[in-house]
Structure 1
Amino acid sequence: MIQCPADFPPEVFSNAISQLIHHPEYNSTLILRSETVSESTTEIPAEAPAVKGFRPVQNTHRRLLPRRPGRDAGLDQHCTLYATEPGDADRPVLLVLTPIVGPDAVLPYYHPAVRHLAFRYIPAEVPLLRIEVVPLPSTPTDLNSRLYRTCLALLDTLHRYGWGAVTNYKKRVHHDCVIPRETYQDLYLVMRERHKHLVNEWQEVTDPLKHVFEDIGIATFLMLLWKESYRPEVEGTPCDESSQELNAAPWKDWPRPPGGFLDLGCGNGLLTHILIAEGYDGHGIDVRARTSWSHYPDDTRQRLHTESLNPTDLVRLDGSIEAHPYLREGVFIIANHADELTPWTPVLATLFSASGYLSIPCCAWAFDEKYERSRAPEYLIPDDSFVDSLNLGGDGSNASSYSRYRIWLASLSLHCGWQVECETLRIPSTRNWAIVGRKRVPGTEEELDQARTQALEIVNRVRERGLFKTRIPEGKAKDH
């Protein structure tokens, strides 16, 4: 079908095709992921073709899982590696993908219309990468055909994997650091089906596809985070879905924050609504009501509140805390693009003995002004490994203003006594970096008291400056 020069040696080929085998979702947005059914270096299935001049050295039986299981079917596939014959090494130079289907079965749309698809490394003075196929009858293979375009994309991907290995490409953004990918994806598919109707019921002028699926993703992450972080309210309450189908909503019995949740700057209220609809206790506050609020069910409307939160008003001069109806002990604080409340999130979590928080920063704010590195208070960074652990992405220099802001937020969380965990969320947003605080930094009572004292000092300094102002509602509700 197509070939190109291979800009890497044959020993790199096995690394490149390993990526193709284990991450088919990188090549098709219609594939969720693959699961390995079995692997063997001795038992080669009969479906694997005999290839002249090559001998099979390994077979992986994988299962392709579709991103839309209600629309596309799953598919089992053999991934067979071949080495040259004769040869004294088992280094693979050929990968053949073979769909496992019955004689009358139809391949799902995301799979090319082929019986076999091969990736071949051809040693020569100028080595080649070549893609070959055994197409199904009557399948077009011309330059304008879908099969040719698919092969072109696959060849580009294979070359990129090999070249990246040669140039020591280092992946700088890592997903699934806090919650396993498979666990998240499986629950997200269920949550998406339960709440996708909200796209057609959208009341705002913003893009419903982005906001609905973004908040479904955040809600999914929170549900699994809480499940892993808290004990069941009643001893013996099941919290493992292994014996139940996700469609049976086992999360109704999963652990949850002991003080409920508080969504700071909840905006359209969608995230609060999804969590309330799934049985979680909590509230959302914002400086003004949105058009969406009045269209939610009563259970949600009763949990959405108009409030301009001023953190300096919540702490008395003697250091005691003003009672607040939603910032109660054990609450989990959500700060999703909370703007000027973003840096206050770990401070409030410490002062109100919260059970944790999730912060997804967007606009860079310090406590009472826009964040400027030269003017913001500095907090201790333990060592370079701390910054490396933040999963900031980019070119690794961490020189951008957004990277510096995230480093500052992480050091602030540590200053307030929280262990720092970071996650690049699987949501449709360029601002998908999140910081999680769910565990206190290990230490003595005195050290924990010191973290609270440091949080109080932040409040007092901001109060003395007298610059913090709560957000004044702007515009009309229909404009947001």
Structure 2
Amino acid sequence: MKDSKGPQPTALPADAPSSLPRLASSESLSSAQWIPCVALDVECTREHFHAALLDLVFQPELSSSTILRGDILQDDEQPLSPPLSLPGYRCTRRIRRRLLPSRPSIDWAMEQECLSYNAAINDEEAPDQDGEGLVLLVPDLEQLRQEDPDGRIPYYHPQVAALAFRYFPPTSSMPSPSLRLDLMPLPSQPVAAPLPPSDRLYRTGLMLVKYAAKLCKGQAVGWQKRVHHDLLAGKEEVQDLYQELKTKYTADIAAQSPRITFRWMLHNWRESTDAAKHVFEDVAIAAWLIIVWRHMYPDTGGQPPGGFVDVGCGNGLLVFILNAEGYRGYGFDLRERKSWAGYTSPRPDLRVESISPPALIAAHLASVSSASSSRLSEPSSRAAAPGPEWPFPRDSFLIGNHADELTPWLALLAACTPGERVAFLNIPCCLHELSGRFERQTYSIPAAYLASLPTAPTSPVDSAGASATTYPLLTPFYAPTPSTFSPSPSKDPGASITGGRYAAYQLYLAHLALRCGFVPEREALRIPSTKNFGMLGRKRVWDDGKGTEGGLGAEERRSEGEERVKREVAELLREVERKGEWKARRPEGKAGEH
């Protein structure tokens, strides 16, 4: 359906006024004429225009799904000698970027000059404060010849030698500011003006102007980004590994099939669920996890010391990829899935198993209490009845990827797992509490628990990911702000959120993590799912020295913190027992007969 709200773009005739001058400093393009394409009224200033186009330059993937990202090679905010000069305009910023395709098997990378200009007064150096703004996007045709023998421009970029985004301030004859796009044809591909509406180049120009206008409006109304990505792992690292894994498993998995393409797994998916969603999602999660582990465990080569355990592993693809990449660990689920038998070389460690977290944790607390008592008294002659075996190795990394009713238990299970380097990742989907469904629309974390949080970093995490000493606490998710939070529980009720049931559920999980002594860090994962938030518990609150008695050393802080967590876990278990709603699922099929 065509959007009829607000001003609509209009096609420009070949003789549209205010034509751009030729690129006098470019030998290959100096003879090319600009072709007016499309224009659209906008309500913004020239400053808003330049800020909006910077967003387009830094995040080109938002305007096209065929672009992976743009790597910035150079950013000069005061260019003394810009590579391209335009009579009547002064260059105010030069950015050189390298565009990377989302389909490297089809497209190739391309370098591009992104040049910002302001109109000058009578061709002087001083810019016209109320004049035109201009941003040129110019592919490096010489560099393209090195990437492609024919020097072709990749599919993800319009087949032109240059794009000119132009901002015009209001005048007596044009009362509204306007945004306009002009195109410069390739020397080898002349284009007739005006462009017909059915032409692909015109349709692309129309889309770009609409998107740029949306960014301009966002700048004008003070839009602030609410969801921040790449805070716990660098975008470049994760995306590059994701592409590497896709390429690698195109060959490895498809080796049994004559169709040596990534489509092999999609066509041979044995589950009733959406193949495309699960395949690409699990590859993306694996890439993200591997990068996070590299930063978490540099002393063990990026390996969790106790391996990993995928709780409720479902189709087992994530376990297969991690095992195949050399990561030790296993996954378990209630029943064997059809896809398990298809994973070979190597065969992943997938197990049919059902656990009852209340029974496991109760037995764990009893054994800890018994061990503590035995150290203070004579050994008893009667052996204690053995409880269920603890299924998580020491210092293991627990994964809850859409683990359903086990999701809220992940922090408790991690808290009870022995070792000082235990950690977990929760990717919640279905909303379950420790007992029953989560039905609340809002949730608050008491201020006393927020007071135990480490101080948030003052600057964003760089592209290399989080270091061992930074805690990317994501406002306004749960981290306190000076205007809304006081560390004194008597003065402030805590942090709350009103973004709907799923947002409230994340706060609930964050509260559980804090009660279990973990610092909950949230990441918006780049996966094809609407439930794409991951919660990472990799640091303990007492590591920062907060939330414990002042003046204690590191050992005393840890000991005091561990005792507090035992009390919290025991209290949570008592709450579940009082409600009496938890029921462990039985393994399905023959596995449930034992």
Same fold? TM cut 0.5: yes
Equivalent position SS for 2:115 = strand
Task: Report whether the alignment pairs 1:336 with 2:401.
Answer: yes
For 2:353 and 2:168, locate their aligned partners in 1 and report how far apart those are by CA, in whole Å: 67
Contact 1:174 1:424 in 2 (8 A): yes
- Runs (5+) with no aligned partner, structure 2: 1-36, 250-261, 369-386, 457-472, 480-495, 546-556
Identity, % of aligned positions: 37
Q: 1:467 to 1:37 in 2, by over 3 A?
A: closer
The 5-angstrom pairing of residues 99-138 of structure 1 reads 99-102=139-142, 104-124=150-170, 125-136=175-186, 137-138=189-190
Query: Rg: which structure is higher?
Result: 2
Q: 1:326 to 1:279 in 2, by over 3 A?
A: farther
Whichever residue aligns with residue 59 of structure 1, its letter is: R
Q: 1:219 to 1:43 in 2, by over 3 A?
A: same
The 5-angstrom pairing of residues 88-237 of structure 1 reads 88-89=126-127, 93-102=133-142, 104-124=150-170, 125-136=175-186, 137-139=189-191, 141-195=195-249, 196=262, 197-233=264-300
Contact 1:351 1:456 in 2 (8 A): no
Residue of structure 1 equivalent to 2:552: none
The 5-angstrom pairing of residues 26-37 of structure 1 reads 26-37=62-73
Contact 1:390 1:421 in 2 (8 A): no
Alpha-carbon distance, 1:470 to partner: 1.0
Task: Report whether the alignment pairs 1:388 with 2:475.
Answer: yes
Equivalent position SS for 2:439 = coil
Whichever residue aligns with residue 64 of structure 2, its letter is: S
Deviation per CA, 1:150-182, whole angstroms, max 9, x where unpaired?
111111111111111111111111111100111
For 1:466 and 1:17, locate their aligned partners in 2 and report how far apart those are by CA, in whole Å: 57
The 5-angstrom pairing of residues 356-435 of structure 1 reads 356-373=423-440, 381-382=449-450, 388-390=475-477, 398-435=498-535
Contact 1:60 1:78 in 2 (8 A): yes
Equivalent position SS for 1:431 = coil
Deviation per CA, 1:319-353, whole angstroms, max 9, x where unpaired?
22656363121111000111110110000100113
2:418 to 353, 356, 377: 353
Moved more, 212-221 or 34-43: 34-43
Contact 1:283 1:326 in 2 (8 A): no
Q: What is the count of residue pairs matched by the alignment?
A: 451
Alpha-carbon distance, 1:288 to partner: 0.8
2:89 to 43, 46, 54: 54
For 2:49 and 2:169, locate their aligned partners in 1 and report how far apart those are by CA, in whole Å: 11
Residue of structure 2 equivalent to 1:265: 312
Alpha-carbon distance, 1:461 to partner: 3.3
The 5-angstrom pairing of residues 250-329 of structure 1 reads 254-297=301-344, 299-301=346-348, 303-314=349-360, 315-316=362-363, 319-320=366-367, 322=387, 324=389, 326-329=391-394
For 2:128 and 2:109, locate their aligned partners in 1 and report how far apart those are by CA, in whole Å: 31
Whichever residue aligns with residue 366 of structure 2, its letter is: G
For 1:378 and 1:106, locate their aligned partners in 2 and report how far apart those are by CA, in whole Å: 56
Contact 1:39 1:60 in 2 (8 A): yes
Deviation per CA, 1:226-264, whole angstroms, max 9, x where unpaired?
11111423xxxxxxxxxxxxxxxxxxxx32111111101
Moved more, 13-22 or 341-350: 13-22
Q: 1:318 to 1:375 in 2, by over 3 A?
A: farther
Moved more, 464-473 or 413-422: 464-473
Alpha-carbon distance, 1:390 to partner: 2.8
For 1:186 and 1:90, locate their aligned partners in 2 and report how far apart those are by CA, in whole Å: 43
Contact 1:112 1:147 in 2 (8 A): yes
Residue of structure 2 equivalent to 1:42: 79
Deviation per CA, 1:381-426, whole angstroms, max 9, x where unpaired?
527997835389xxx9624111111111101101110011000000
Moved more, 458-467 or 408-417: 458-467
Equivalent position SS for 1:436 = strand
The 5-angstrom pairing of residues 59-70 of structure 1 reads 59-70=94-105
Q: 1:457 to 1:374 in 2, by over 3 A?
A: farther
Q: 1:218 to 1:397 in 2, by over 3 A?
A: same
Whichever residue aligns with residue 181 of structure 2, its letter is: I
For 2:95 and 2:365, locate their aligned partners in 1 and report how far apart those are by CA, in whole Å: 66
Runs of 4+ in 1 over 6 A off after TM superposition: 374-378, 383-387, 474-477
TM-score by length of 2: 0.71
Deviation per CA, 1:344-363, whole angstroms, max 9, x where unpaired?
00001001136100001111
For 1:428 and 1:381, locate their aligned partners in 2 and report how far apart those are by CA, in whole Å: 33
Deviation per CA, 1:158-207, whole angstroms, max 9, x where unpaired?
11111111111111111111001111111111011123453243211222
Residue of structure 2 equivalent to 1:80: 115
Whichever residue aligns with residue 152 of structure 1, its letter is: L
- Runs (5+) with no aligned partner, structure 1: 234-253
Let me know the Cα RMSD of the aligned residues: 2.8
Q: 1:64 to 1:378 in 2, by over 3 A?
A: closer
Q: 1:258 to 1:60 in 2, by over 3 A?
A: same
Residue of structure 2 equivalent to 1:13: 49
Contact 1:319 1:456 in 2 (8 A): no
Whichever residue aligns with residue 9 of structure 1, its letter is: T
Alpha-carbon distance, 1:280 to partner: 0.7
Alpha-carbon distance, 1:139 to partner: 4.0
Whichever residue aligns with residue 70 of structure 1, its letter is: S
Deviation per CA, 1:121-144, whole angstroms, max 9, x where unpaired?
112232211100112324463111
Equivalent position SS for 1:120 = strand
Q: 1:170 to 1:476 in 2, by over 3 A?
A: farther
For 1:207 and 1:408, locate their aligned partners in 2 and report how far apart those are by CA, in whole Å: 29
Whichever residue aligns with residue 222 of structure 2, its letter is: N
